């Protein structure tokens, strides 16, 4: 991957959590569905990587980060289903301090933080692989 493109993608990953919040606020139910699609996409990609044996080929920290990212993605997807279903039935959204909303925001923030660190490692010359 070219260095400039990698830097742009790294910056977008770093902005992932604020972008998800913006999309949900701006686009309502469609935004919540888009965020769910992104988190599900990351979960599917991570699950595919784990199933294909990628953690065995990575050094210890990148492998652990992959597993943690998979867990955070599952949590973010599960917690995000509540707002999507609520919006589908026109129920009011939970307040920002509601436990489900706090869990969703925490999981999405953790997902993008872990994804950003893993992507930064991937952009290194060894890509986090074992020697």
| pTM score, whole prediction | 0.87
Please, what's the b/e burial string for 97-120 (b: 16 or more CB within 10 A of its CB; e: otherwise)?
eeeebebbbebbbbbbbbbbbbee
The answer to whether residue 92 scores a pLDDT higher than 70 is no
The answer to whether residue 61 scores a pLDDT higher than 60 is yes
pLDDT tens, position by position, 25-57: 888 778 888 999 999 999 999 999 999 999 999
């Amino acid at each position: 991957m070219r260095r400039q493109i990698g830097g742009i993608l790294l910056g977008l990953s770093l902005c992932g959590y604020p972008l998800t919040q913006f999309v949900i606020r701006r686009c309502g139910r469609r935004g919540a569905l888009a965020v769910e699609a992104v988190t599900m996409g990351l979960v599917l990609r991570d699950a595919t990587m784990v199933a294909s044996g990628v953690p065995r080929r990575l050094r210890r920290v990148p492998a652990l980060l992959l597993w943690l990212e998979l867990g955070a993605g599952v949590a973010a997807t599960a917690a995000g289903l509540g707002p999507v279903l609520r919006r589908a039935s026109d129920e009011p959204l939970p307040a920002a301090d509601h436990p489900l909303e706090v869990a969703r925001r925490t999981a999405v923030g953790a997902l993008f933080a872990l994804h950003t660190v893993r992507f930064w490692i991937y952009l290194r010359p060894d890509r986090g692989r074992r020697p």
